[in-house]
Amino acid sequence: MFIDKVKIYTKAGNGGNGCVSFRREKYVSHGGPDGGDGGKGGNIVLRIDEGTNTLFLYKNKKKFIAQNGGDGMSGKMHGKNAEDLVLTVPPGTVVRDATTGAVIKDMSNCGDYILCKGGKGGWGNRHFATPTRQIPRFAKAGMTGEEHEVILELKMLADVGLVGLPSAGKSSVLAAISSAHPKVAAYHFTTLSPILGVVTLSENRSFVCADIPGLIEGASEGAGLGLDFLRHIDRCRMLIHVVDISGTESTDPVNDIEIITAELEKYSPSLASRPRIVAANKIDAHNPDLVDLKKFEKYIDEKGYELIYISAATGENIVDLIKLTYEKLKLLPPLTLYEKEYKEDDPANPSDKTVTVHNKNGVFEVEGEWLYRFMGNINFSDRESLMFFQRILRENGVIDALEAAGCGEGDTVSIYDFEFDFIE
């Protein structure tokens, strides 16, 4: 089954919790804290699978959650890092944010992409020992893994798109110019899914051509199959417009071309303006009483299209069509790649700076989702890192929130188990 658009939920694993432990050995009177750190949560990784051309894997399963990191253990033993969860996608898959539609990543000719980062493991209590706090009975919890609801949208990687009305002969043309074997029959029907074919002139000269299911009038507004598959020619560098010139299906090829052009323009004016070769198919069966070639050629000349008469059935001018297409492609820019549009929150400058402060038995506890994520980037044993942490608290209103809650000089502040004395 051909599936080219799905919505899925992904979540990276949480980091393991740090361990609270103290070294206890015979004849060692001052063992001290030895709690190990938690392991890192698994990432959600996207990987291109060159052997697929559908998102069928995601038809039924919509939720993907990576494993959590292992908790730290005594003896300074580090928790196990969780393995990454790898999701394979066909080449040409565009990943979008499900809420805004912004492009996150174009999975075309690239390596693995980390969609959701796993949470960092929490520190064991050995990190919190100081000359004045020699018996820390707390550790840091692991960070929460990132989560994202995304839309996977397949836009095939084809240099050339074959467009035209149903039964214009697009599948026959693709079969004639490439090694693809689309279903071809003598009765009126249309292809039900896009088909790719590699067209080869010689060892080092080739291009990829896509047979797009037949468009009908109103396709850009949702009629027929056209709207579902127009996305697959978004990347195409040029179009081959296949039109039936025989007169058996239609006696007005000019109108046939205008119907398709109108649908392309409604869907994307940029797409409709791409270089175009008109392949007048079924010339071997042309009936001059039904189709006026002079009128047709005058129209093509006025539009500035390239025109070539072919017959997919007999092979007439098929080689010339391939050569003409290849020569035009050499003058065109490479395939379209979609730039990243999605803006990720900077932990040091979050968009949502909401924090809550609660006074519990004289300890002012501060909570905030952005603050929780931000603390995972701070090395609390480093002086410069601590100064940066203090500056971010002040710039993002945390200090003001503490003062508004009544926190004063010398009061204890706790931010996710990290405690310090408040100094005005």
**Cα gap 255→239, rounded to integer Å:** 18
Task: Please name the amino acid found at residue 77.
Answer: M
Q: How far is CA 280 from CA 86, 256, 272, 285, in A?
A: 46, 11, 19, 11
The b/e string for 145-184 (b: 16+ C-beta within 10 A; e otherwise) is bbebebbbbbbbbbbbbbbbbbbbbbbbbbbbbbebebeb
Same domain, 248 and 308: yes
At 1 the pLDDT is 56
Q: How far is CA 113 from CA 118, 143, 156, 275, 342, in A?
A: 13, 21, 19, 33, 14
CATH of the domain at 391: 3.30.300.350
**Cα gap 254→260, rounded to integer Å:** 10
Same domain, 97 and 240: no
What total number of domains does the chain contain?
3
> Whole domain around residue 37: which residue ranges?
1-154
**Cα gap 242→392, rounded to integer Å:** 62
Same domain, 225 and 313: yes
At 378 the pLDDT is 73
CATH of the domain at 79: 2.70.210.12
Pair of tokens at residue 40? 């890192």
CATH of the domain at 201: 3.40.50.300
Whether residue 374 is contained in a domain is answered as yes
Same domain, 386 and 238: no
At 346 the pLDDT is 61
Same domain, 110 and 166: no
At 282 the pLDDT is 92
Same domain, 14 and 112: yes
Taking only the tens of pLDDT, the chain with its 424 residues reads 567 889 999 999 999 988 888 888 777 777 788 889 999 999 999 999 987 878 888 989 999 999 999 999 988 899 999 999 999 998 989 999 999 889 999 998 889 999 999 998 888 888 877 777 777 877 777 888 999 999 999 888 888 988 888 778 888 898 899 876 665 544 444 455 678 888 988 778 888 888 877 565 554 455 444 556 677 778 889 999 999 998 887 888 999 899 888 888 888 888 888 999 999 999 999 888 888 899 999 999 999 999 999 999 899 999 999 999 999 999 998 887 888 887 776 655 666 778 889 888 888 999 887 887 777 667 676 677 778 888 888 888 888 898 898 888 888 898 877 888 888 7
At 188 the pLDDT is 46
At 224 the pLDDT is 45
> Which of 329, 348, 380 is the endpoint of a domain?
329
Q: What is the reported pTM?
A: 0.72
